[in-house]
Amino acid sequence: MVHFIIGEDHKKVHEQISILIHQMMMKNSIAYEIHHFYDYDKSFIKMITKNIPNKIYILDIETPSDTGIEMARKIRENDIDSMILFLTAYHKKYKETILESEFMFLAFLSKRGDFLSKLEQKLQIALQRVDQKHAIRFYDQGILYTIPMRDILYITTDTQARKTLIVTDYTTFKVNKSLVEMESLLNDRFMKTHRACIVNKDRVIYIDMKSRCICFDNQTEIDLLSREYKKRMKDFLDINFSH
């Protein structure tokens, strides 16, 4: 899920940005949500501190309560991954004061003229970067794990060892996180096939619905497909099935 966070006090501009995002995302298969803020108030500060992945900020430089510059500083205090795009009607005024090295922002755009086409180009770049850096990151017993999502085949539970198993192309990670906790870190390429299993849809090449066997693109096979999730798999996976 991609979270677009609009901080813009001008209602017409705000609406234009929102429409642009909807139009862009209709062409993608990525789930998204738009969060609307017309001022940098307490609710905006709360959004900054929310632990949600894949944030793309579109920040107006000036709003009644504060500046986009100050908000970018607050964002970067604890968040170096989210992408920031600045918008301003006073491009010349702020151009020299905004340092890319300080905020690590993606774009600084003037709201004058046809800014929407330029904004669309930058948002497309932001989406590409979101897709490239998709990884799950978590601490377990003092160890920081960073696992690219594309490497994960499936995640399941080992009830005897009371561990969650993250099965990748190259190894199996045994962690103390619950399956529910792991699911909260994943994006829309993952899907439950069993109460004790989550699979990477992008890595599945074949499902035998009779034997309930799931085959991945590296020839790994599992039989963790329950009756409860069979129909959901048929509805959502664009793959070949054997009946």
Q: What is the pLDDT of residues 160-188, one digit of tens each?
A: 888 999 999 888 999 999 999 999 888 88
Does the pLDDT at position 100 exceed 60?
A: no
Does the pLDDT at position 80 exceed 80?
A: no
For residue range 206-240, list pLDDT tens digits in order.
888 788 889 999 999 999 888 777 777 766 655 44
Does the pLDDT at position 101 exceed 60?
A: no
125 and 185 housed in the same domain: no
202 and 183 housed in the same domain: yes
Last residue of a domain, one of 62, 97, 132: 132
103 and 161 housed in the same domain: no
Domain that holds residue 23: 2-132
Higher pLDDT, 137 or 4: 4
185 and 150 housed in the same domain: yes
Residue found by looking up tokens 């793959």 in the block: 239
Does the pLDDT at position 135 exceed 50?
A: yes
Helices (H), the chain: 11-25, 42-49, 68-78, 91-95, 100-103, 115-132, 179-183, 227-236
Report which residue type is found at 126.
Answer: A
Does the pLDDT at position 64 exceed 70?
A: yes
Q: Would you tell me how many other CB atoms lie within 10 Å of the CB of residue 1?
A: 12
Does the pLDDT at position 72 exceed 70?
A: yes
145 and 120 housed in the same domain: no
Q: Are 59 and 68 in contact (CB under 8 A)?
A: yes
CB-based burial label for 184 (10 Å; 0-12, 13-18, 19+): middle
Does the pLDDT at position 197 exceed 90?
A: yes
Buried b (16+ CB within 10 A) or exposed e, 17-45: bbebbeebbeeeebebebbebbebeeebe
CB-based burial label for 98 (10 Å; 0-12, 13-18, 19+): middle
Tell me how far apart the 2 most distant CA atoms of the chain are, in Å. Answer: 67
β-sheet bridge partners, residue 173: 166
